Amino acid sequence: MAVLGNIELHTMKSGGFEQMPLLAAAVKGTLKARAMASQLLAFSGLHPVKPLLMSLSDACRWTLPKLQFQMGPNIQIQLDLAEDLWTCRLDYEMFAQSLESLAENAKEAMHASGTLRISTRNLPNLQAEAGKTDPGQAWVELEAGDTGHGMSPQTLARAIEPFFSTRSLAEASGLGLSLVQGFVNQSGGQVFIESEPGMGARVHLRFPPTQKTDPQGGR
């Protein structure tokens, strides 16, 4: 805040950013550093959270206008949102940032043209896959899938690793999926990714429901 405030005050006295392109670049770099600091806190699980009781389906709808602007005119967003979704206790701001990070990764993988599919569902106890989540535990799941180039096994193994990125250093911080993992872990959930070269990628975010149910759907 101190850096940004002083830059903006100096710029106002000097005729605006149009007259001070170097200060405009300094502001851009400072904003990126602030975003990276926030992402590091999220990854470490130390980001302050404001959990609210909400439906993932509703949260996706609230975030959709920003996602549509972010993805541009050549990427279609398809929603398959369950109406009877169990509620979760989540920080909406961090959820929105995580969904935007997933969308940005999908946009890069699709070269700004393709389809992003976002779905939500309940996973009762009997549907929990051994090896991917705790058997016998119910989850609420969000899946974000794209029609991009997919990932090799080597890239998939490192996808959530902090600072790992297939983009250049100037284009990305390599913290997008790490931010997502930090937020989900801090919310008591789990993340796993499915991807093959040429087959796109599917990122699964799973959260514990606030409503406990039995495998047949009864409370």
DSSP string, 179-211: HHHHHHHHTT-EEEEEE-TTS-EEEEEEE--SS
Please determine, for residue 34, whether its predicted confidence score (pLDDT) is greater than 80: no
* CB environment 51-68: b (16+ within 10 A), e (fewer): eeebbbbebbeebeeebe
**Residue 48's pLDDT is what?**
65
Cβ atoms of 176 and 166 within 8 Å: the answer is no
Q: Is the pTM of this model over 0.75?
A: no
Instruction: Show the 3-state SS of 39-67.
Output: HHHHHHCCCCCCEEEECHHHHHHHHHHHH
Cβ atoms of 71 and 77 within 8 Å: the answer is yes
Phi and psi of 122, rounded to 5°? -85, 140
Calpha distance 146→118 (Å, rounded): 9
Phi and psi of 144, rounded to 5°? -115, 115
Phi and psi of 85, rounded to 5°? -70, 140
Q: Is the model more confident about 73 or about 16?
A: 73
Name which of 36-40, 54-58, 102-106 the model is least confident about.
36-40
Calpha distance 88→95 (Å, rounded): 11
Chain-wide mean pLDDT for the chain?
79
Mean pLDDT throughout 121-125? 88
Q: Residue 177: pLDDT band by 50, 70, 90 thresholds?
A: confident
Mean pLDDT throughout 137-150? 93
